[in-house]
Chain A
């Protein structure tokens, strides 16, 4: 079954404690991206990756890091989380930015 898998689904953490949200896809997609969703703001792109070892900033990259060492995986790293990063995060993959994107189930992150 074609899917994008994110883990964990829910996470509560404290300010400053490094965390990683994993994302994996099984569709051999080149393009992967991370979004955060906040009420009234829709989905805002954090980072995207065109291919292995190729990543670039989206619209709201501050406070986040990503890596793309393998085609199927695209983890999101928060080196020092802050409360303003409390949000719902989605990973997505597609063949390119112009075609259908498949989303993971989402990770609800709370930073206290």
Chain B
């Protein structure tokens, strides 16, 4: 079954506001990846986190890996309409790459 759980499943955001989506696991993860899928598109890699407590930024996106390497978060500031889509976290275990169920983001202009 799926190794990682994502919350929330849906996120409705007012343009310009911030939001955070979370990825949680009951086991320690070796790494975590984040992907974005635009409506009608395919998943596209955003970033990979490997180290405990690691924080990486991509413009308005901030990714964090928990100290215990059991959780991760994606924080988006000043949401824009281009942020619409589904964000997935993914973790590797025994050669399998398991994805969370995703957080689908819609933006109110």
Contact = CB atoms under 8 A, between A and B. Distances in A.
Contacts, number: 62
A112 B10 CA distance: 30
Given A45-B98, A48-B97, A100 B45 contact: yes
A44 B42 contact: no
A42 B95 contact: no
Interface in B84-102: 88, 90, 92, 95-102
Chain A interface size band reads: 20 to 34
A43 B99 contact: yes
Given A42-B100, A42-B101, A50 B42 contact: no
Interface in A87-104: 90, 92, 97-104
Interface stretch (A14-22, A33-41, A65-73): A33-41
Interface of A: 33, 35, 40-45, 48, 50, 56, 58-59, 90, 92, 97-106
23 contacts: A33-B97, A42-B6, A42-B99, A42-B101, A42-B102, A43-B102, A44-B2, A44-B99, A45-B96, A56-B95, A90-B42, A92-B43, A92-B97, A98-B48, A99-B48, A100-B45, A101-B33, A102-B45, A103-B42, A103-B43, A103-B44, A104-B42, A105-B42
